[in-house]
A and B are shown apart, each in its own frame.
Chain A
Amino acid sequence: MASYGDEEHCQDYLFKIVLIGDSAVGKSNLLARFARNEFYPNSKSTIGVEFQTQKMNIDGKEIKAQIWDTAGQERFRAVTSAYYRGAVGALVVYDISRRQTFDSIGRWLNELHTHSDMNVVTILVGNKTDLTDAREVTTDEGKTLAEAQGLFFMETSALDSSNVKAAFETVVKEIYSILTRKVRLSQEHKKHEVASLGNGKTVIIHGDTGETDGGSRSWCCA
């Protein structure tokens, strides 16, 4: 959800962002690194969902990113997908040292499109770049897939921190920029506003209702 505060606090934003991807690709550690600058080499598997709220400053505005960390095992999808609802951003994560996790990306994107009610700002994240010797998915492959699917792309390492902040910020900035364009384009529509971007992506951001009118909008490539 992207909720606007009261009139007097209209500069406060809350963006809901989901972290999805196969088991043990490092979703929880990406979040731990981003939100608390921590890393747990033996972090437990996530059961169900957890979330963290992180404040960010974009263009002088305070933005809260509510980041939902979900369980990776297929079996939990029915449970976790309920949490895609209302999300305006998503990090779809794979592990560059395990090809299988990259091969699952298509399934995760389908899942996201099925259960989130709008076009979500999505970044494809190849995590664990610190495992250089064990790499199974090249940067180019990741880039190519991202381009084909119209996603942002970044390779990260939660262990050595590289690009973690950047990955989250990319998503949040994009959501914010869509939002501000939207506000600029249609001042008079307070409730239902649509913002279009030059690259053809369309994202609709609603108030707290979480409802949508553009549910199955297709993805456009940049």
Chain B
Amino acid sequence: MEGGVGGIGGSAAAMSTGEQWCNAAAVVGATVMKKRKEIRIDESAETIPHFFGFVVFDNLLLFRVVGVVVVGSSAIASGRRFLSATIQLVLTHRANLKSPWSRRRRKRGLYSQQWNALFSPDGKLQDEVKFLKKVRSGGVEPRIRAKVWPFLLGVYGLNSSEADRIAVETQKREEFVKLRHLCAQLSGHSVKAYKKSRKMDSDSDGEGDGVTEVPYSPISDYISSSRQSLSIEGTSPGITGIDGHSSQSIFIGGGSPADASSDQSVSQPILTKGEKSGHSIVSCANSAFREEDKSGIIHADASTVDTNPSDTDSSVEAPDCMHNYSETAISDVVDHYANIDPLKWDSFRSFTSHHTAEDYVAWQRIIRLDALRANAEWVPYSSSQVAVSEDKACYFADSVGLKDYEHLEPYRTYHAARLVAILEAYAIYDSEVGYCQGMSDLLSPIVAVMEDDNEAFWCFVGFMRKARHNFRLDEVGIKRQLNIVSKIIRYKDAHLYRHLEKLQAEDCFFVYRMVVVMLRRELSFEQTLCLWEVMWADQAAIQAGIGKSAWGRTRLQAPPTDDLLLYAVAACILRKRKLITEKYSSMDEILRECNSLAGHLDVWRLLDDAHELVVTLHDKL
């Protein structure tokens, strides 16, 4: 699938133009590659219409544009811009696919102008119904996604003013940094990050790529925090030494100090040294929590920090707060976290007592494995992240204890490191769920869209509020979901349902993957995001209590539902009813059909079907 996209370079400006959205929207999975064609276009006032004309023309010929790659840009200085773009077209028979150029989508999505117009002078969303309506009917224009998603995912309230959001942002940033701190402490990889960062400081003095010049990012923050905490001596016995030994002795309580000096034990979480040490880590963290007062070095009372953010400008505030933070010991980190959200901390503690410590270690391990093999479908949509330097990528990877990434391109390494940082933090934040495979599928697009780890983390938290049930150990959530899909099919198509019963497949297990990773494996990157946006808008509408009447007589008569995804999944199956009832005589065959849907679905058709199902069935369910 990635083969359809030859490569990417060129200017970020080009990526953020309206045309580019259309271009990007057309980058979908190529199924039947027939013929390749290269076309050079000089961008000027005259050629843009030609460009569009060309595309429409192609479209009429039932071809599909699957890749648009900007390979070079130049000469902005003269005021006349020549953008030399090579458009690599992979022409395919469209067959029964609906074009992603669907007029419907282009008309109805939320565009940046509309988005900007929605805000009052004090930064309040003035018409939340209009906002959600737009998103529900056509998704969000890619270049404003990073701004819109925090609203859709409940990071910011729909009624929040700009001031509210700054306060929320500051507080959330604090909390995320603390979570990261806890992760780093539990893993012990901060030691290596420290060493590496020192090396980089001396190596890259005056170079543009120095980590210190990276725009504000929590990753660099928690790195610098661990760096500082390691360099300040005497704040807490045992944790402050800059050598691996004393740091480690904190964590594994009596483990072999020799382990710390080997590279492996540092880059691989120390916890993996066995169950025994894993247990002592947790008990150590717990005892740190219990003995919070004894440490006597609490610099920043969490409640003070939370309620009175001393700096409002987050880009300035960060180092300051990090400074406070850096001087605290692990007990304070734990303490901070406990104060911020006692409920969450309770669950963390219950996780440490109910589960074995091996679980967190296992999560760390699997997170890294999955991060390294995250796919790169996001690449055409995130040019700035693609441009990350190798030094920076390696630095971030080392800082989260990622290894074996040498075979990856820098942007993939960087992406993987960010996935690790956020997933680890999430595993502590929501220890009941921890980490389950599939979660990286959900996070990867968020990381691609959100440049800032903190924002990405909280968007992910918002996403997971509903999605987390799919990943629970007790499987209650996923069973409930499959049961709803089953019901939708039963109400809509009794004949198909009876056939499924005959095959003992009425539990709809065959849609398991579709539900768990929310059609991410079946849809292209862009189409997945559109589906999710529509789904999030539904959930946001319900959250905000926007009732049925608010939607009026639009095409979207379907009231918002929490289960839009399930209707969409059911719609996939219902589309295959003829095949299933006439040709398939075992559950295996249906499963295989479902597993091979990738590249054969059109999200807008699917959503149309899903909305239709919602209209007819939501009362029954």
Contacts and interface: CB of A to CB of B under 8 A. Distances in A.
Contact of B475 (A46, A49, A71, A78): A78
A51 B591 contact: yes
A56 interface: no
A46 B517 CA distance: 11
Interface in B436-450: 436-438, 440-441
Interface in B505-550: 509, 512-513, 516-517, 521
A66 to B, nearest CB: 7
A42 interface: yes
A45 B438 contact: yes
Contacts of A54: none
A75 interface: yes
Contacts of B370: 23-24, 45
A191 interface: no
A49 B521 CA distance: 13
Contact of A79 (B362, B372, B374, B512): B512
Instruction: Give the size category of A's interface with B.
Output: 20 to 34
A24 B373 contact: yes
B437 A45 contact: yes
Given A66-B588, A73-B366, A75-B471, A47 B407 contact: no
Given A23-B366, A42-B372, A73-B437, A48 B588 contact: no
A42 B370 CA distance: 9
A147 interface: no
Greatest chain A CB density within 10 A among B374, B440, B473, B513 is at B513
A75 B436 contact: yes
Which applies to chain A's interface (DSSP): helix, strand, loop or mixed?
Answer: loop
Given A42-B372, A75-B473, A78-B475, A50 B437 contact: no
B437 A23 contact: yes
A48 B369 contact: no
A57 B595 CA distance: 27
Interface in B537-582: none
Nearest to A50: B595
A46 B513 CA distance: 9
B37 interface: no
B592 interface: yes
Interface string A23-37: 110000000000000
A24 B369 CA distance: 7
Given A73-B366, A79-B475, A100-B365, A48 B516 contact: yes
A62 interface: no
B355 to A, nearest CB: 11
Contact of A47 (B365, B369, B512): B512
Contacts of B437: 23, 45-47, 71-73, 75-76
A46 B521 CA distance: 10
A21 to B, nearest CB: 13
A48 B366 CA distance: 16
Contact of B438 (A47, A51, A72, A78): A47
Contacts of A46: 437
A41 interface: yes
Contacts, number: 65
Interface in B451-504: 471, 473, 475
A44 B372 contact: no
Contact of A100 (B272, B516, B517, B592): B272
Contacts of B441: 44, 47
Contacts of A44: 373, 375, 441, 521
A47 B513 contact: yes
With a 10 A CB-CB cut-off, give which of A24, A43, A44 has the most chain B CB atoms: A44
Contact of A42 (B373, B588, B595): B373
Contacts of A24: 366, 369-370, 373
A49 B591 contact: yes
A42 B595 CA distance: 18
Given A41-B407, A75-B471, A48 B272 contact: no
A207 B513 CA distance: 29
B407 A74 contact: no
Contact of B588 (A51, A72, A79, A82): A51
Interface in B348-377: 362, 365-366, 369-370, 372-376
A42 B375 CA distance: 7
A75 B369 CA distance: 16
Interface in B286-300: none
Contact of A74 (B362, B373, B475, B513): B362
Contact of A48 (B362, B372, B471, B513): B513
A100 B362 CA distance: 10
Contacts of B592: 51
Contacts of A100: 272, 365
Nearest to A76: B437
Contacts of A50: 591, 595
Interface in B169-212: none
A189 B369 CA distance: 49
B372 A47 contact: no
Interface string A150-164: 000000000000000
Interface of B: 272, 362, 365-366, 369-370, 372-376, 407, 436-438, 440-441, 471, 473, 475, 509, 512-513, 516-517, 521, 588, 591-592, 595
Interface of A: 23-24, 41-51, 66, 71-76, 78-79, 82, 100
19 contacts: A23-B366, A23-B370, A42-B376, A43-B373, A44-B373, A44-B441, A45-B373, A45-B440, A47-B441, A48-B512, A50-B591, A50-B595, A51-B592, A73-B437, A75-B437, A75-B471, A78-B475, A79-B509, A100-B365
- Listed from nearest, the 10 A-B pairs whose CB atoms lie closest are A24-B369, A48-B512, A42-B373, A45-B437, A47-B513, A73-B437, A48-B513, A47-B438, A23-B366, A50-B595
